[in-house]
Amino acid sequence: MTNLPGSDLIIEVLYIIAAALFILALKWLSSPATARRGVLAGEVGMLLAVVGTLFHKGIVDYKWIAIALVLGTIIGVPLGRVAMTAVPQRTALSHAFGALCVTLVGTAEFYLRAPNVSRFIMSALSLEVILGSLTFTGSLMAAGKLQELLPQRPITYKGQNIVNLGFLGIAIAIAVYLTLHPDQMYLFPAMIVIPLIFGVLMIIPIGGADMPTVISLLNSYAGLSAAAMGFVLDSKLLIVAGALDGASGFILSVNMSKAMNRSFTNVLFGAFGQEQVTAAAGQEARPVRSATPEEATAILAAANKVVIVPGYGMAVAQAQHKVRELYDALSKRGVDVTFGIHPVAGRMPGHMNVLLAEADIPYDKLLDMDQVNGDMPHTDVALVIGANDVTNPAARTDTSSPIYGMPILDVDKAHTVMVIKRSMSPGFAGIDNPLYYLDNTLMLFGDAKQFVGNIVKELSGNSGGH
């Protein structure tokens, strides 16, 4: 059946349709209203491409293909069913799997072709396996840190960058040499092992708070390695998919680095954990104003416009559903409640939106930083739950602050700021937050879930019978 004349042509046409569907899939993702159609387009495109490939002339045996497809599905289904809080580590793990696939195919292709490999193919192949192997171990490390199997805190030592770049440099040197002399096949394993080590070293200095940037960057690497594989196999479909994935990861990396106020070269070279902040010195006990749930409730109930600013602390406290109850209770009283989401308010880009959507908060209430900041002076109450550095006004004014220049949510411009926090301890960067000492700030000390729950109870108690 596979020897029909023109079966190659049919496969190619299926690939072209698949590539078009992939582009449409991303296009439809532009709005939540059409996004699910995008997934469907992606699925149809994938199905066409895989089925088309099964008709490839050279395939002599389907046994291993079938076993592998079944096994992959068995592994894939539980990975698609993880909790929403675990999506970042799942994503990191899937970058690792993608990179593994690319590296293995690249390795097999090399040993099938060597030493008769053209220079162009050899350089694409080198790029493929170098990016693939460093993304593989780097993503596994990232997943380990996110799952808290590995220590979250950054591990740094003197000369770390030189060591890391040295490893990368050696790998590139081998790649160049192999490109010129593809018959030196004994060098190939080194071109895989060294980037594997580099991937581990690259993630060691990175702390938990930088994970959104790292995941995006690894996403981009995974895409580029797949595109390189497309060059090796002369598969335009793979080039298209890899380029789309690479572009997506690149855009997200740039977004995240802007949101974290890190320079782009900083991101490109993976030197994230650089700014080692010396813990805020001279912390004299400054007076803060605190409030009880009853007082907080009275202020919220009297407000017309409330902006809730959630941070990852909210997710850690599992307070999303209580926050949703608060949203319901306030909305019922006619209070305009929206959410101000900082780009890095989570463990990966967009993570906070997913966590809030899971708690049934309508997406049109989830606003990004720019949308919220314009309205902040007209906001009666800004309620900060589990966020810290992204609300720190020092980022706007204090040039000596390590986070100076980082875009923040201007909660201090609201009439009243309420901050739910366990204690006065500083955030991940170890920076004191002047927000807490402002005259219009009320500290609500306690567990986020419990505190919000108390406010909700108060609100429903006062609302009278209806």
Partner 1 sequence: MKADLITSLYVFMLAAFIGFEVIRRVSPLLHTPLMSLTNALDAIAVVGAIILAGEQKSTLATVLGTVAIVAATSNIVGGFIITDRMLRMFKSSKTQKP
Question: Among all residues, which ones are annotated catalytic?
Answer: 389
Q: Which amino acid is at 397?
A: T
- Among 141, 229, 387, 442, the residue binding partner 1 under the rule CB under 8 A is 229
- Which of residues 91 and 454 has its CB atom nearest to partner 1 in the complex? 91
Q: Tell me which stretch binds partner 1 (CB under 8 A): 164-172, 192-200, 246-254, 456-464.
A: 246-254
CB 391 within 8 A of CB 411: yes
Instruction: Check binding of 320 to partner 1 (CB under 8 A).
Output: no
CB 229 within 8 A of CB 128: yes
| Triad 460, 461, 466: Cα angle to 5° | 65
Instruction: Check binding of 242 to partner 1 (CB under 8 A).
Output: yes
Q: Nearest distance from residue 290's CB to partner 1, in Å? A: 33
Instruction: Check binding of 309 to partner 1 (CB under 8 A).
Output: no
The b/e string for 130-139 (b: 16+ C-beta within 10 A; e otherwise) is bbbbbbbbbb
- Which of residues 356 and 452 has its CB atom nearest to partner 1 in the complex? 356
Q: Tell me which stretch binds partner 1 (CB under 8 A): 28-36, 161-169, 193-201, 264-272.
A: 28-36
Q: Nearest distance from residue 362's CB to partner 1, in Å? A: 4
Q: Footprint of partner 1 on residues 329-348 (CB under 8 A)? A: 341, 343, 346, 348
| Cα separation, 311 vs 274, whole angstroms | 23
Instruction: Check binding of 148 to partner 1 (CB under 8 A).
Output: no
| Cα separation, 228 vs 325, whole angstroms | 49
The sign of the dihedral angle between the CA atoms of 321, 323, 329, 335 is negative
- Among 145, 351, 421, 449, the residue binding partner 1 under the rule CB under 8 A is 351
- Which of residues 199 and 249 has its CB atom nearest to partner 1 in the complex? 249
Instruction: Check binding of 73 to partner 1 (CB under 8 A).
Output: yes
| Triad 318, 430, 268: Cα angle to 5° | 90
Residues with Cβ within 8 Å of 378's Cβ and at least 6 positions away in sequence, in order, are: 305
Q: Footprint of partner 1 on residues 83-142 (CB under 8 A)? A: 84, 87, 90-91, 94-95, 97-98, 100-102, 104-105, 107-109, 111-112, 118, 120
| Cα separation, 237 vs 312, whole angstroms | 38
Instruction: Check binding of 283 to partner 1 (CB under 8 A).
Output: no
Half-sphere exposure of 41 (CA within 13 A, CB side): 17
Q: Is 191 helix (H, G, I), strand (E, B) or coil?
A: helix
| Cα separation, 88 vs 97, whole angstroms | 14
Q: Footprint of partner 1 on residues 365-404 (CB under 8 A)? A: 365-366, 368
Q: Nearest distance from residue 245's CB to partner 1, in Å? A: 4
Q: Footprint of partner 1 on residues 166-225 (CB under 8 A)? A: 215-216, 219, 222-223
- Among 236, 305, 396, 415, the residue binding partner 1 under the rule CB under 8 A is 236
**Strand ranges across the sheet with 441-445:** 366-368, 336-341, 305-310, 381-385, 416-421, 441-445
- Which of residues 82 and 268 has its CB atom nearest to partner 1 in the complex? 82
Q: Tell me which stretch binds partner 1 (CB under 8 A): 64-72, 400-408, 413-421, 430-438.
A: 64-72
Q: Nearest distance from residue 354's CB to partner 1, in Å? A: 5
- Among 4, 30, 181, 264, the residue binding partner 1 under the rule CB under 8 A is 30
Q: Nearest distance from residue 86's CB to partner 1, in Å? A: 10
Q: Tell me which stretch binds partner 1 (CB under 8 A): 79-87, 176-184, 291-299, 435-443.
A: 79-87
CB 393 within 8 A of CB 419: no
The phi and psi torsions of 281 (rounded to 5 degrees) equal -80, 160
- Among 4, 50, 187, 193, the residue binding partner 1 under the rule CB under 8 A is 50
- Which of residues 46 and 197 has its CB atom nearest to partner 1 in the complex? 46
Q: Tell me which stretch binds partner 1 (CB under 8 A): 155-163, 236-244, 431-439, 441-449.
A: 236-244
Which among 229, 234, 164, 255 has a CA at the least distance from the CA of 201?
A: 164
Size of the site for partner 1 (CB under 8 A): 115
Q: Tokens in use for 146?
A: 């996110």
| Cα separation, 96 vs 135, whole angstroms | 6
- Among 10, 75, 193, 302, the residue binding partner 1 under the rule CB under 8 A is 75
Q: Tokens in use for 183?
A: 């018959």
Instruction: Check binding of 233 to partner 1 (CB under 8 A).
Output: yes
Q: Which amino acid is at 150?
A: L
Instruction: Check binding of 245 to partner 1 (CB under 8 A).
Output: yes
Q: Nearest distance from residue 211's CB to partner 1, in Å? A: 12
Q: Tell me which stretch binds partner 1 (CB under 8 A): 155-163, 235-243, 284-292, 313-321.
A: 235-243
Q: CA 34: distance to chain centroid?
A: 22
Helices marked H in 83-187: 87-113, 119-146, 160-180
Question: In this structure, how many other beta carbons lie within 10 angstroms of the beta carbon of residue 254?
Answer: 16
